[in-house]
Structure 1
Amino acid sequence: MKGVRVSNRSNYSRTAVAEPPPSSVPITGGLLARLGAAMAGHTRIVFGVWLLVLVALGAAAPSVFNSLAGAGWQADGSQSVQVRELAQQHFGGNSSAAVQVVVHSDTATVADPAMRHVLDGVRAELSGDARFGAIVDPQPGMTISPDGHTGILVAGAAASTDDMVKAVDEHKAALNALAGNGIEVYPTGASALWSDFNAANHNAMMKAEMFSWPVTLAIMVLAFGSLVAAGLPLLLTVAGLVASAGGLVLLNHVTPISVWAMNFAMMFALALGIDYALFLVARYRDALTRAADPRRAVAETMDTAGKAVVLSGLTVLVSLSAVLIVPAPAVRTMAVGIMLSVAFVLIATLTLLPATLGALGTKVNAGALPYAKRQQHRSPRFARWGQLLHDRPWPFAIGALIVLVALAIPVFGLKVAMPSIQVVPESAPVRQGYELVQRQLGAGAPGALQIIAPAGEAEATARAAAGVDGVAMVTPPQPAADDSGLVMMQALPKVDPSDARMGTILDDLRHQLPDRALVGGAPAENLDLQQALNHYLPIIVGVILVLGFALLLVALQAPLIAGLGTLVSLLSTGAAFGVAKLIFQDGHGAGLLGFHPQGFLDGWGPVFFFAMIFAIAMDYTVFLLATAKEHYERTGDPEAAQIDGLAHSGRVIFAAAAVMVAVFFTFALADPLPPKEMGIILGVAVLLDAVVVRLVLLPVLLRLTAHGAWWSPRWLRNILPNINFAHH
């Protein structure tokens, strides 16, 4: 009996030691593993905090499109901005931000009672708003057409450019309602242009989002094979979108944020939120097959895939931060909008998603489709593809390089310019008024250049301006309304404001006028902004490449593969811009896509799209190389790293790319040209990057470089932080 008692005690002791409750065993791994376990172990607190955040920021989110700024397309500190500021201070607001209301009749003239009645109505509508400065009736020889059937009433700008766009938003319906009985009324000018364009752009973005969500959900279901797992990326994305929208509204109270910031933020939050959730959920489902409990599976997921997500998010933020050096408010705040959305998505990925996974446990596979029950994290199909690339690397390497180089060659002929009136739909009142002014007053009439000079140099300035080739006429100098001693005159060019010759006319004016004379106006603001964008482009490209390489080097601790990863990302970006040149500059496929080519790419495209494309390219680079390094750390075998890296990440990269391509290509349905450019360029970039680079060229480079891909000198390892992707 005594032996039995000892045996029972021994068995009890052995059971207690060998099988402790899973929650009592310490979580192994690094900081992210402990963070993931903490989130999964305190789901109520995490959900409660996020609920408070979403309620607080969500209250502001619905007003995002009405609250954000509508202008900001300028080069701060440029001569044209100086002219606008002087015009608003000393000339009743008759600046580039002034609103020009075009009134036209085929039968009546400006002097007829019916036309005078409409003009009086326009004046009454605008005079009660403090945002408008001096209101000037149509003037013979200046703002009345030669036949007298068209007159332009000018309402000066007494507020910021953003407030002037909002003023047009509020008054344009009432102004359009004054039309009738054969009299047409069109608000025009830069403020009206941005008002109509922002509205068209917003409608296009909403239409694209409505199309993209069902397509995204379908791809998610196919990728995960589970309705619950497929819904998690969308949950994460909605949380990031709501938080970033509310954050932008609050930030707008501190500094004006362009409405375009939200447009881009919506697109990037959807794309990257799904990317990150795909990577983590796929890894979590695999970890569940080995872990003792969901909390431990979350810890393993965050310790491996979580590191790749953090590195990817940092890469995106670093790439976009380079855009902040451009001295243009709209460009800077677009970058801020995307960075804010990425930050919220990243925070949600590191907190809300682990908590949700911990709460769901094995139910993450609920609603599984039949084929999904046989699905493995290590994809046999991508393993076979990886083996094929390993066995025959050179044909694939050469083929991929030929495709990318051939597509990148056209980029050397790429032309850029600020958008023309064609980016606004033909039905937009501002475009109708613009084209009417051109027919009645000449091609350059909508883009008059403004000259401000000291009164003592008025005659010399006017004479020099009239002698510049390409200037059709110069209006008489108008003295300032105060004692500033300044005069203003308008130089009407002979060409359309978006004509390439406008740049030469502006340069000639600035060189030939007296030194103290300044030249501005809406066309000059566009050209000054374009010059600033061209100046900063090589700087931004250099900064992004250096910082991208540095982040890869820190993460992978392998200079060769970090350098190759950066170079192939640059190559895929060049190929995307080459395709953009063929489509949007040369017009190949324009009929199919439903647009008229401008003969150039919109000027902000290279700066902004380069940062976005490179960020996305590095996103996939990180996913693939982090997975490959994890297997190299475990085995020390470069073949296993290449094949297993592709086998474990290939399906996720393919699914994530399919989602991004679907999201971006829905913007090809937009009527305005800039969203169409954005969608097609980014969609082509993702397609090329995922299919040609991440699933072909980069794995082949891993094969050809073998151990050298992961080699690092001792001195470099000593100064870099120790980052491992394998879970211990």
Structure 2
Amino acid sequence: MAVNTRPRTARASVADPALRRLGFLLVRRRRLVLALAPIVFVVAAVIAAGVVPRLSLSRFEAPGSESDRAQAELIERFGTGSPDVIFLVTARSGTVDDPAVAAAGRELTARIGREEGVAEAASYWTRDRPATLRSGDGRHALILVRVPGDADHVRAGVLPRLVPKITEGGDLLQVRAGGGEEVFREAVPLARQDFVRAELVIFPLAFVLLWFYQRRVVAAVVPILAGVFAMVVGLALLGGALLFAEISTFALNLTLAMGLGLGIDYCLFVIQRFHEETRRGADRASAVAGAVEHAGRTVLFSGVTVATSLVVLLALPFDFLRSFAYAGVAVVIGGLVAAVLVLPAVLATAGGTMVRKREKAERVAGFWHALAWRVMRRPLLSGGAALVVLLVLASPFLGLRFGVADDRILPPEASSRQTQDVIRRSFPAEETDAIQVISKSAAAGDVSGYAARLSRLPGVAQVDSAAGSFAAGGRVGDGDPARFAGRGTWVSVVPSAQALADDPVRVVEAVRSVEPPFEVLVGGYPAELADYRSSVVDRLPLVLSLMLGMTFLVLFLMTRSVVIPIKATLMNVLSLGVMFGALVWIFQAGNLSGLLGFTPTGTLDASIPILMLCVAYGLSMDYEVFLLSRIKEEYDRTGDTERAVATGLQRSAPLITAAGGILALTFAAYATAQVSFVQMLGVGIAVAVLVDATVIRAILVPSLMRLAGPLNWWPAGRAPTSGR
């Protein structure tokens, strides 16, 4: 057949006879496949519907860390712990010290303490009126509530019942809820709304873009259906992971975002190859088999690359980040099933409806072909200019500062965000986020001196202990043995509101730097965030090494070259640099904050950028595989590197541009989200995909391959050159 002829002077093109046989099998069994596909979809949808309620809420915590052990000691030895929820109480008239208001405050505190699920409740009025629990103007006071249990129990079990009841307020008091657990309880449904709203916009826009690219309604609809299939199958497969692991609810969002994009990408690649085989005169069956043989192989390598980039998250001991590894692998499997098994049966049955009636002849020398030759004529100039542009775009990355997430991930109108804004603005210190220093055995004199030294630290407003309260090194109040003594003792280091807003980790580090007179454990919410951030950042080299090493191996198996995977890795690192440069410039520095509607904090939480690192790297390699597979095929056919690059770019660049544009659109739609985490994910991935699908693929790849010449294919050796 014409589709299988090759020049005698060149080595055989990259092909897989097993996949070709699979293609013919799918053609022969197309009715069976098309009958099974809807059944699989419906069964997967039913399973997926049961998976969603079983997804877990997650916390930013590092199991086994110092803060984790401190929290356990605090609960076991002293029957107390960090507050999970804050109630901001405002006097409707007068101040919180007025007798009637104070009585109502004490009664409300006692009432909260009696609520089911509440282990402890304390307030300004029950702790002898400390200044740290009272606003500067006297209009507000705080009630601190501890609700033990995992995140699901606290956020989905206790708070939905407790918060509406308590925030009803009364004639004397207005009550609002805040605190870390309430903030993230609000964040989850908002993030879910963000993704649903974005998907409603993405589907019609994706259809329009696909129609413009394919000019056939069926050819525009089928990739979208494949994306939906990938999403549903991916969610269903998460049910298997739930048997042995906890999966975060945020994994649902990644499944929805990646499922549609990858499903469309993979189907476009197979459909385009089907078009090429048809234009070359192959009959329907041979065209489908050729598409599965060549495009199917590329799609499989691409899927393995994307899955590999995400599976490295399993190296991190955090359920929140591990969840995305399971989600990524699951959705890739869904996309591969749709593109390699179901789509060929669709093409065998209705492939004619996806081909234009007057199909244009394949353009061997078009815009991309000419661009590649122009770049390769001056590779140093073209590649150098592109490199300079990318490095300038990536330069803000040098100012990256990792921080911790707080209520400012929510929009200003969110209830818990408003509560925290009042606390930041009106309270001199952050009693609610005190740092707890626990000791199993300590003498009162030792505690007094140690607490005084801690109170001198920058950013510390007050230190409370059994030996007294201290500020700026001096004693400012009596001790509270009933609260701080027991099987040992503990000290509460209350940071100032400004210090906690600026950099809570720095305050924790300062506390840990003070030499204690006895053995201590440092805990509390700021310490938990510091330990989590440290654990994530410390493991970042391991994640990078695994990701780079595993994807290098995948590309080596595809190309049989050592040089090409190295170049691909360096170029993908460049696209990641641009992505992080955009994140720092926009979300850390606050540029475009007015347009996007978020509040910059001057830092980036470590979790989401690491997730984005793995997602963006995998998607970048996705397009690298698409392009390299065509270049390698042409090189094996002709033995001419430059001609292979120009022809490979001409045949793959339109597809990569269209697919990259749709995938970028899929993620860019999340820039309208209410939760800044979701905005970061959308904007960052969209930037990485666009840079990768344009500047890197169109300019850097041709220039570097031209400079490397025969070394591109080392150690496999050169194919016989047919000449130009």
TM-score normalised over the length of structure 1: 0.86
C-alpha separation between the residues in 1 aligned to 2:129 and 2:679?
40
| Pick aligned residue for 1:503 from 490, 502, 505 | 505
C-alpha separation between the residues in 1 aligned to 2:610 and 2:267?
28
Deviation at 1:629, TM superposition (A): 0.5
Deviation at 1:633, TM superposition (A): 1.1
- Using the TM superposition, name which of 204-213 and 225-234 deviates more: 204-213
| Pick aligned residue for 1:610 from 605, 608, 613 | 613
Which residue is 1:539 aligned to?
Answer: 542
C-alpha separation between the residues in 2 aligned to 1:516 and 1:350?
61
Deviation at 1:465, TM superposition (A): 3.5
| Pick aligned residue for 2:266 from 248, 267, 276 | 276
* 1:445 and 2:427 are equivalent in the alignment: no
Deviation at 1:228, TM superposition (A): 0.6
| Pick aligned residue for 2:296 from 280, 301, 306 | 306
* 1:412 and 2:398 are equivalent in the alignment: yes
Which residue is 2:369 aligned to?
Answer: 383
Paired residue secondary structure (1:100): strand
C-alpha separation between the residues in 2 aligned to 1:226 and 1:457?
81
Label 1:122 to 1:605 Cα distance change in 2 as closer, same or farther (>3 A): same
Aligned 1:86-101 pairs, distance under 5 A: 86-92=73-79, 94-95=81-82, 98-101=84-87
8 Å CA contact 2:403, 2:503 repeated in 1: no
- Using the TM superposition, name which of 630-639 and 138-147 deviates more: 138-147
Which residue is 1:145 aligned to?
Answer: 134
* 1:238 and 2:228 are equivalent in the alignment: yes
Paired residue secondary structure (1:59): helix
| Pick aligned residue for 1:36 from 8, 15, 23 | 23
Aligned 1:611-630 pairs, distance under 5 A: 611-630=614-633
Paired residue secondary structure (1:132): coil
Label 1:485 to 1:627 Cα distance change in 2 as closer, same or farther (>3 A): same
Aligned 1:456-535 pairs, distance under 5 A: 456-457=442-443, 460-461=446-447, 463-468=449-454, 469=457, 470-477=459-466, 485-496=487-498, 498-511=500-513, 512-535=515-538
* 1:644 and 2:647 are equivalent in the alignment: yes
| Pick aligned residue for 1:210 from 200, 223, 230 | 200
Deviation at 1:596, TM superposition (A): 3.5
| Pick aligned residue for 1:83 from 60, 70, 77 | 70
- Using the TM superposition, name which of 409-418 and 523-532 deviates more: 409-418
* 1:430 and 2:432 are equivalent in the alignment: no
Deviation at 1:505, TM superposition (A): 2.6
C-alpha separation between the residues in 2 aligned to 1:518 and 1:114?
38
Specify the code of the residue in structure 2 equivalent to 1:77. Answer: G
Label 1:459 to 1:288 Cα distance change in 2 as closer, same or farther (>3 A): farther
Specify the code of the residue in structure 1 equivalent to 2:154. Answer: M
C-alpha separation between the residues in 2 aligned to 1:504 and 1:614?
31
Deviation per CA, 1:314-369, whole angstroms, max 9, x where unpaired? 1111111222222222122123222222222223322222222223232333xx5x
8 Å CA contact 1:83, 1:519 repeated in 2: yes
Which residue is 2:309 aligned to?
Answer: 319
C-alpha separation between the residues in 1 aligned to 2:484 and 2:243?
33
Specify the code of the residue in structure 2 equivalent to 1:74. Answer: E
- Using the TM superposition, name which of 139-148 and 391-400 deviates more: 139-148
8 Å CA contact 1:99, 1:156 repeated in 2: yes
Label 1:230 to 1:566 Cα distance change in 2 as closer, same or farther (>3 A): same
C-alpha separation between the residues in 2 aligned to 1:441 and 1:595?
23
* 1:68 and 2:55 are equivalent in the alignment: yes
- Using the TM superposition, name which of 691-700 and 237-246 deviates more: 237-246
Which residue is 1:693 aligned to?
Answer: 696
C-alpha separation between the residues in 2 aligned to 1:112 and 1:334?
53
Deviation per CA, 1:252-301, whole angstroms, max 9, x where unpaired? 45432111111122111122221111111111122233465433322211
- Using the TM superposition, name which of 463-472 and 664-673 deviates more: 463-472
Label 1:590 to 1:373 Cα distance change in 2 as closer, same or farther (>3 A): same
| Pick aligned residue for 1:548 from 538, 551, 563 | 551
C-alpha separation between the residues in 2 aligned to 1:666 and 1:65?
22
C-alpha separation between the residues in 2 aligned to 1:233 and 1:206?
20
8 Å CA contact 2:484, 2:490 repeated in 1: no
| Pick aligned residue for 2:670 from 667, 671, 674 | 667
Aligned 1:51-62 pairs, distance under 5 A: 51-62=38-49
8 Å CA contact 1:90, 1:480 repeated in 2: no
Please report the RMSD computed on the Cα atoms of aligned residues, expressed in angstroms: 3.1
| Pick aligned residue for 2:324 from 334, 339, 342 | 334
Deviation at 1:209, TM superposition (A): 2.0
8 Å CA contact 1:133, 1:158 repeated in 2: yes
Deviation at 1:568, TM superposition (A): 1.2
Unaligned runs of at least 5 residues, structure 2: 1-14, 467-479, 719-724
Deviation at 1:651, TM superposition (A): 0.7
Deviation at 1:538, TM superposition (A): 2.3
C-alpha separation between the residues in 2 aligned to 1:712 and 1:268?
35
C-alpha separation between the residues in 1 aligned to 2:665 and 2:540?
29
Paired residue secondary structure (1:187): strand
| Pick aligned residue for 1:102 from 88, 95, 116 | 88
Label 1:197 to 1:110 Cα distance change in 2 as closer, same or farther (>3 A): farther
8 Å CA contact 1:419, 1:498 repeated in 2: no
8 Å CA contact 1:64, 1:248 repeated in 2: yes
C-alpha separation between the residues in 2 aligned to 1:458 and 1:167?
41
Specify the code of the residue in structure 2 equivalent to 1:192. Answer: E
C-alpha separation between the residues in 2 aligned to 1:114 and 1:509?
36
8 Å CA contact 1:437, 1:446 repeated in 2: no
| Pick aligned residue for 1:395 from 381, 384, 394 | 381
Deviation at 1:624, TM superposition (A): 0.4
Deviation per CA, 1:563-596, whole angstroms, max 9, x where unpaired? 1111111122112222322222333333333333
Paired residue secondary structure (1:467): helix
Label 1:402 to 1:489 Cα distance change in 2 as closer, same or farther (>3 A): same
* 1:229 and 2:219 are equivalent in the alignment: yes
Which residue is 1:24 aligned to?
Answer: none
Which residue is 2:255 aligned to?
Answer: 265
C-alpha separation between the residues in 2 aligned to 1:184 and 1:250?
47
| Pick aligned residue for 1:166 from 131, 134, 156 | 156
Specify the code of the residue in structure 1 equivalent to 2:675. Answer: P
Deviation at 1:650, TM superposition (A): 0.8
8 Å CA contact 2:109, 2:123 repeated in 1: no
Unaligned runs of at least 5 residues, structure 1: 1-27, 718-728
C-alpha separation between the residues in 1 aligned to 2:235 and 2:110?
37
Deviation at 1:627, TM superposition (A): 0.6
C-alpha separation between the residues in 1 aligned to 2:364 and 2:287?
17
Deviation at 1:439, TM superposition (A): 4.3
Which residue is 2:575 aligned to?
Answer: 572
Paired residue secondary structure (2:539): helix
Which residue is 1:9 aligned to?
Answer: none
Paired residue secondary structure (1:490): strand
8 Å CA contact 1:135, 1:155 repeated in 2: yes
- Using the TM superposition, name which of 263-272 and 479-488 deviates more: 479-488
Deviation at 1:222, TM superposition (A): 1.1
Which residue is 1:346 aligned to?
Answer: 336
Aligned 1:582-597 pairs, distance under 5 A: 582-597=585-600
Specify the code of the residue in structure 2 equivalent to 1:493. Answer: P
8 Å CA contact 1:437, 1:445 repeated in 2: no
